[in-house]
Structure 1
Amino acid sequence: MRRARQGTIPDMIQRYRGIVLAVPLFLVCSILFVVTRAPGSISRKAIPGGFAGSRSYAVIFDAGSSGSRVHVFCFDKNLDLLHIGKNLELFEQIKPGLSAYAKDPQQAADSLIPLLEKAESVIPEGLRRKTPVRVGATAGLRALGAEASEQILQAVRELLQHKSSLKFQSDWVTVLDGTQEGAYQWITINYLSGRLGKSYADTVGVVDLGGGSVQMAYAISEEDAKKAPKVSDGEDSYVQKLFLKGSHYYLYVHSYLHYGLLAARAEILKISGDVSNCISGGYHGSYEYGGKTYKASASPSGASFSQCRDDAVKALRVGEPACAHMKCTFQGIWNGGGGAGQQNLFVASFFFDRASEAGFIDPNKPVAKVKPAEFEEAAKRACQLSIDDTKAAYPRVATENLPYLCMDLVYQYALLVDGFAVDPSLEITLVKQVPYGDSFVEAAWPLGSAIEVVSSP
């Protein structure tokens, strides 16, 4: 019996091979279970660059007047942002901008090569042909005129077509108008705040106050979209239909040229004439904008909130021409019909800057809740001061902006309340950056452009 149980080593391995194989397999599975369940283990999404099964990238060039910038974003299959290295985007910039090469379009295009190479370097080689690249030029190229700007844009198109490994379409290189900027800004803020993919009533409206123009954008119902007035040839439509995160949106968006903060100063000074009720007392000077010079001298009695507001309302042309639609903002512009998509307003750019400089929001926090009435209160305080007292009271205001602090705050209040008919007591959100996960992301148009292009069917 004892001899019968004995055998060669190969015979024993063959007889007990199931046990031999099962033990190490069990140990490996146990180790994997412990590792994947361990507290603090890194999720797939948090790993730099990600290794999710389905990733997509987008490259957006912001060709501004002061410089060119490139943004690279990476999304997972749910259109959530993934890290690129330690950040939620790759961002690089160079100076000067494309408009500095007005007489040499090829040199303008070539100036983007270092940014292009940096963008391509962070995108896996196998995904580059699937990665869209867009170039959006803004104020700098607009100022060059149609012929010069188109020559530069064509040189950029040829650069991307022949020297880039990215997905490219000719119409992805363009001069952005204010309507496009407003739409992309709306996409950016609603995306970062987790509202895309929900009903239009759950989205937020956006007012973006730049230097040359101001944009209003908010989602409306399909029924209101059908009521949009027809526009003349060459004019931007009031409503854009967007497909984002699996949902269709009808976006009312309008850009008011000449009513950005810096441009509005010129419009108000046209109304006031030789002396202005909006200039800090004791200041006598001039204001330059758009290649023109305007007198900017204070009234002998100093600034006046009520008289300055009258001038601001006249500059906005509230009530003229007469409203030809159901309801208008200013200049006879259709207001989109109102509705749920406008009830929660996010207000960006110069609104945030002036509020922080005037001291009624914390400049160290990227988001603040305020009411339009707080701009009124701040304006009344600023308008009472002489230029010397303004300098002492508002150390955060740049020297060149001090004479116009009263005017800027009055205009911002008038724009919201008289222009856009926002209730003075309505709580609005001033935003510079939007929280996203454990990070903050700039509330700027390039992310909105990226989301649109990767969302396209």
Structure 2
Amino acid sequence: MKRSKLAGVFLFVGVLLAYLMFVRRHYGAAKPDAFALPAPRHRRPASSTAGGSFQYGIMFDAGSTGTRIHIFKFQTELNEAPKLAHETFRALKPGLSAYADDPEKCAAGLKELLEVAKSTVPPSSWTLTPVVLKATAGLRLLPGEKAEHLLDRVRALFTESPFLSRDDSVSIMDGTDEGTNGSLCHICTHTHTHLKMMMMILSSLIINVCSYLGLGLMSARLAVLGGVDYSPLEGSTELVSPCLAPESSGSWEHADVVYTVRGQKAGEPVYEACRTKVEKLLYRKVEKATEAADVDFYAFSYYYDRAVDLGAIEEETGGTIRVLDYEEAAKRVCSGLALSPLQSPFLCLDLIYISVLLQELGFPPHKQFKLARTINQVETSWALGATFHYIESLKRH
């Protein structure tokens, strides 16, 4: 991306957005290379290097579809900003919310991820390494008592672990801090301050995060299918929608409610009828990206996942895709030409939602997006900034 375009840059981010929000509250000016990833090093003692020492942080991202662990290794130098030296990442399915009726069953997966942390962090650093879990949409939508029982089980596991655990180590993020994990937001530049944590990704850049609460993919699905505010419409758990295959029937669980979802009678124009539903949902809900046609954009989260589902990009390496590609794929899938038993029954709806949302934001049909899971070998996630912020808060207290 050319530096001359940075003043108006927008990025699409799922989980990366809240990461930026955490960081921007705490940092002012920084050197442009303050967070450049270091070159590969020869192995040194676990707690120090010739010029400094290492600090570790463990962040669990408890999402609606899975639990992910990020183990960060920061190199600290005297009078210098910390540098990210390495990240270890693992993920397990399903998400914690799947154990809402039996919290004890969540322990096995969390213990497995804690073992990854124990094998990554040197034993000499265990008691100095904070372990934190932040739950996102999946737990936020559960009834309060069920969510709290799950979090209590996590707190007990963290207390039993050799890592540093405090009263605030386990919590549910609100929608603003999360940046609507999995939904669409945009980041725009307005000032000239530098953010240290962004150096490893975008050179010098200032951000303003705009969060569209309720427009995440799962919440949008519910609204388009006929649910309201995360609840069944008029108490019913049956949802009938033109966005599903005609005369199809199945079940879908969202926010601890199991819905029966059905398609309408055969002969209905699926694509046109579903698009109308999505357009009504998004009407006047988002702002136009004023430089949408002129700058480079990255897309993450479900934009990436649906492109993988379509075979448009490789799951491990990513690639590029146009707004028009999502729209044309939606027409194919919704017409039934591309349906297969392995595809999600919501693929038609999801693709229409993505294509309409991008157009509502002002992106022209041939606008190309870069799809990536990592930037400079770092997972695109809010977890890095949240971990760094937590470590700094420990120092202050």
TM-score normalised by the shorter chain: which range applies? 0.5 to 0.7
> Which residue pairs with 2:85 in the alignment?
82
Structure 2 counterparts to residues 60-139 of structure 1, below 5 A = 60-64=59-63, 68-77=67-76, 79-83=82-86, 88-89=87-88, 91=90, 97=96, 100=99, 112=110, 115-116=113-114, 118-139=116-137
Contact map agreement 2:103 2:153 (CA 8 A) in 1 = no
Q: What is the RMSD of the two structures over their aligned residues, measured on CA atoms? A: 4.3
Q: Does residue 390 in structure 1 map to residue 338 in structure 2?
A: yes
Contact map agreement 2:128 2:164 (CA 8 A) in 1 = yes
The whole-number CA distance in structure 2 between the counterparts of 1:351 and 1:312 is 16
Q: Which of 358, 361, 370 in structure 2 is aligned with 1:429?
A: 370
Unaligned stretches of 5+ residues in structure 2: 1-38, 228-237
Contact map agreement 1:276 1:299 (CA 8 A) in 2 = no
- Identity percentage over the alignment? 27
- Give the 3 Å change call, closer, same or farther, for CA 128–248 of structure 1 in structure 2: farther
- The CA deviation at 1:149 is 2.8
The whole-number CA distance in structure 2 between the counterparts of 1:284 and 1:125 is 54
What SS does structure 1 have at the residue aligned with 2:226?
helix
Unaligned stretches of 5+ residues in structure 1: 1-42, 184-207, 224-240, 320-329
Q: Which of 167, 170, 178 in structure 1 is aligned with 2:167?
A: 170
Q: Between the two structures, name the one with larger relative contact order (CA 8 Å, sep ≥ 6).
A: 2
> Which residue pairs with 2:177 in the alignment?
180
- The CA deviation at 1:264 is 2.8
Q: Does residue 414 in structure 1 map to residue 356 in structure 2?
A: yes
> Which residue pairs with 2:324 in the alignment?
373
Which letter maps to 1:288?
W
Q: Which of 276, 279, 298 in structure 2 is aligned with 1:310?
A: 276
Deviates most, 283-292 or 44-53? 44-53
- The CA deviation at 1:434 is 1.9
The whole-number CA distance in structure 1 between the counterparts of 2:334 and 2:98 is 38
The whole-number CA distance in structure 2 between the counterparts of 1:79 and 1:336 is 37
The whole-number CA distance in structure 2 between the counterparts of 1:111 and 1:434 is 24
Contact map agreement 2:65 2:93 (CA 8 A) in 1 = no
- The CA deviation at 1:375 is 1.2
Which letter maps to 1:178?
G
- Give the 3 Å change call, closer, same or farther, for CA 417–251 of structure 1 in structure 2: same
- Give the 3 Å change call, closer, same or farther, for CA 48–65 of structure 1 in structure 2: farther
> Which residue pairs with 2:303 in the alignment?
351
- The CA deviation at 1:147 is 3.5
- Give the 3 Å change call, closer, same or farther, for CA 453–425 of structure 1 in structure 2: farther
What SS does structure 2 have at the residue aligned with 1:268?
helix
> Which residue pairs with 2:56 in the alignment?
57
Q: Which of 366, 386, 396 in structure 2 is aligned with 1:449?
A: 386
- The CA deviation at 1:413 is 0.5
Contact map agreement 2:226 2:240 (CA 8 A) in 1 = no
Structure 2 counterparts to residues 226-241 of structure 1, below 5 A = none
- The CA deviation at 1:75 is 2.3
> Which residue pairs with 2:17 in the alignment?
none
> Which residue pairs with 2:213 in the alignment?
256
The whole-number CA distance in structure 2 between the counterparts of 1:356 and 1:101 is 30
Contact map agreement 1:220 1:336 (CA 8 A) in 2 = no
Q: Which of 232, 249, 260 in structure 2 is aligned with 1:285?
A: 249
- The CA deviation at 1:339 is 6.5
What SS does structure 2 have at the residue aligned with 1:390?
coil
Contact map agreement 2:134 2:171 (CA 8 A) in 1 = yes
- Give the 3 Å change call, closer, same or farther, for CA 164–249 of structure 1 in structure 2: farther
Q: How many residues were matched structurally?
A: 332
Contact map agreement 1:366 1:434 (CA 8 A) in 2 = no
Which letter maps to 1:149?
A
The whole-number CA distance in structure 2 between the counterparts of 1:276 and 1:92 is 33
1:123-175 deviations in Å (ceiling 9; x for gaps): 23444444332111234433442234335435644664x54554444333211
Q: Does residue 147 in structure 1 map to residue 145 in structure 2?
A: yes
The whole-number CA distance in structure 2 between the counterparts of 1:140 and 1:358 is 25
1:230-255 deviations in Å (ceiling 9; x for gaps): xxxxxxxxxxx976368894431314
Contact map agreement 1:90 1:119 (CA 8 A) in 2 = no
1:324-369 deviations in Å (ceiling 9; x for gaps): xxxxxx1xx6x498679x943322222222223334x233552222
Q: Which of 201, 204, 221 in structure 2 is aligned with 1:265?
A: 221
- The CA deviation at 1:216 is 0.8
Contact map agreement 1:79 1:245 (CA 8 A) in 2 = no
Contact map agreement 1:67 1:96 (CA 8 A) in 2 = yes
Larger Rg: 1
The whole-number CA distance in structure 2 between the counterparts of 1:171 and 1:292 is 32
The whole-number CA distance in structure 1 between the counterparts of 2:100 and 2:278 is 37
The whole-number CA distance in structure 2 between the counterparts of 1:245 and 1:295 is 43
